[in-house]
A and B are shown apart, each in its own frame.
Chain A
């Protein structure tokens, strides 16, 4: 197998007494769309800055394509970055911004212009070449930043919360577009986000960060459906944990278990339960109508609470609102419950 595009080994970074990154090991394959997901302060952005070379690690190694770049300056590394604030040069127009990296590398003028225009075309910004960054919308600036990085054909493209500053509609559009651009250019994309939905929709694999460490690495489906810790279960999607006595009573087993809200079926108290299913009775304490779906908060009789998400296939808001206070049975298939190994060793 060829060398991974990015290999981090034992990577740590401390700012004074604070360990921002505390021993990260990670391999990212060539051509992968990889997400680093975590709350703010979890160290994901610092890892990105260590890969780009803006920070030097306290210990550990950064390899790009099998070459140790730990001690190299940013301008010596074959990576480019899309910054959170885009970092477009305000005194240059769009095409000068995009050409900047090529001009530094002394690419001849004609080729430079042709490549810049092609890059702008690939992010659908034709016709805006002469605009200044302050004459562009947020989404357009984001695309210029993308074109400015991609035009250099880096080995790895680093994206720091690339969609964070966009409004919801634009963000969803750009999610799809980023994915298709990545497929087109075939460059490894490594992006940092605190938005779990963004990480799940776009990436081939996700690393979930917490307190400077990687909690779990896997495909979006792995992360979502088989979280290895309560933190991952809580951060990615809605935490729906059954533990302690409730677990003993409902599942007949010790430990902490997770079931995703959409896997739960809200049934009547006396509805039949299949042998392959588990169920628990409780009282609906809250009903939240959210357009396409409704969220039910159910206080279980055995203690604890579960949230069930039901598609509004045939019901309307009027029907579901009346369910508050009623007694229900939550039913789920056994294959949708997952035991969580707590890293603190509490369970």
Chain B
């Protein structure tokens, strides 16, 4: 009798061999944990949010009434104060995104294309280090700088909020653009110059279209993080309110969880609209 290849194998090796032969089983095992996380922890929470938004609160007892109603959304759309706050929040998010883009692009370009490999490593570390420090410390640092007797002394308000948020989210804009520019072959820049294009045209016709998906990735971070923020505006925003404050106040002081949930759907919807608009430009196809 000829000895078979399976003779004398441990169960562990048998399992390994089984997985090797069955790619489908292997794939589903590997994906089960992330899919479970995405399904339960993320999509589940989002679904809970939407359902809660359709409930209401009993004005006398303060208890949540678990009956579906549109009353929260009616308030949201009919009361001027919420529309103003929503528009203001979007304005702040747009301003922060644009400021970060203007600062981040040249920085990322210098890091990816001009710096020596050694300097490049240090610059990446320099961009990352602020992320290791506490959010609160950084926000209060700006509060001190912006206070009337601080280094800047510009006072608090929307401008202060935009400045501080721009500072906080800047690394989230730099890093995707840096990664995008790293992937852009130097030879494409050489080729544009070789064909007669000067710097601005090379930027407009080659660099920008090819790094646009990276810019979008960065803007999704800065935009959504700004849209959801309520701490910075509490610290340096003075009297101005953003969507995040409304959510926070309704959970805490007003004890109206369903209305807070309804307000919280606004940034989600805005982000979905933003991503749909970006998708129409075709920028995401080159990812």
Please give, as numbers and ranges, the residues of chain A lying within 8 Å of B286 by CB-CB distance. Answer: 90-91
Q: Are B190 and A54 in contact (CB under 8 A)?
A: yes
Q: Are B209 and A83 in contact (CB under 8 A)?
A: no
Q: Which of B191-244 contact A (CB under 8 A)?
A: 191-198, 201, 205-206, 209-210
- Range of interface residues on chain A? 20 to 34
- Range of interface residues on chain B? 10 to 19
A101 touches B (CB below 8 Å) = yes
In the assembled complex, the CB of A20 is this many whole angstroms from the nearest CB of chain B, namely: 16
Q: With A and B bound together, what is the CA distance between A264 and B96 in angstroms?
A: 78
B187 touches A (CB below 8 Å) = yes
Please give, as numbers and ranges, the residues of chain A lying within 8 Å of B198 by CB-CB distance. Answer: 73, 75
Q: Are B209 and A80 in contact (CB under 8 A)?
A: no
A105 touches B (CB below 8 Å) = yes
B24 touches A (CB below 8 Å) = no
A101 and B188 in contact (CB under 8 A), knowing A89-B206, A91-B286? no
Q: Are B187 and A83 in contact (CB under 8 A)?
A: yes
Q: Are A104 and B197 in contact (CB under 8 A)?
A: yes
Q: With A and B bound together, what is the CA distance between A101 and B191 in angstroms?
A: 10
Q: Which residue of A lies closest to B191 (CB)?
A: A87
Q: Are A73 and B195 in contact (CB under 8 A)?
A: no
In the assembled complex, the CB of A255 is this many whole angstroms from the nearest CB of chain B, namely: 46
Please give, as numbers and ranges, the residues of chain B lying within 8 Å of A52 by CB-CB distance. Answer: 190, 194
Q: With A and B bound together, what is the CA distance between A105 and B194 in angstroms?
A: 12
A81 touches B (CB below 8 Å) = yes
B185 touches A (CB below 8 Å) = yes
In the assembled complex, the CB of A134 is this many whole angstroms from the nearest CB of chain B, namely: 10
A90 and B193 in contact (CB under 8 A), knowing A83-B187, A104-B201? no
Please give, as numbers and ranges, the residues of chain B lying within 8 Å of A149 by CB-CB distance. Answer: 194
Q: Which residue of A lies closest to B188 (CB)?
A: A87
Q: Are B190 and A89 in contact (CB under 8 A)?
A: no
In the assembled complex, the CB of A53 is this many whole angstroms from the nearest CB of chain B, namely: 8
A91 and B190 in contact (CB under 8 A), knowing A100-B195, A148-B195? no
In the assembled complex, the CB of A29 is this many whole angstroms from the nearest CB of chain B, namely: 23
Name B residues whose Cβ lies closer than 8 Å to a Cβ of A: 185, 187-188, 190-198, 201, 205-206, 209-210, 286
Pull 11 A–B residue pairs with CB atoms less than 8 Å apart, ordered by A.
Answer: A73-B198, A75-B194, A75-B195, A75-B198, A83-B190, A84-B187, A85-B187, A87-B191, A89-B210, A91-B209, A104-B196
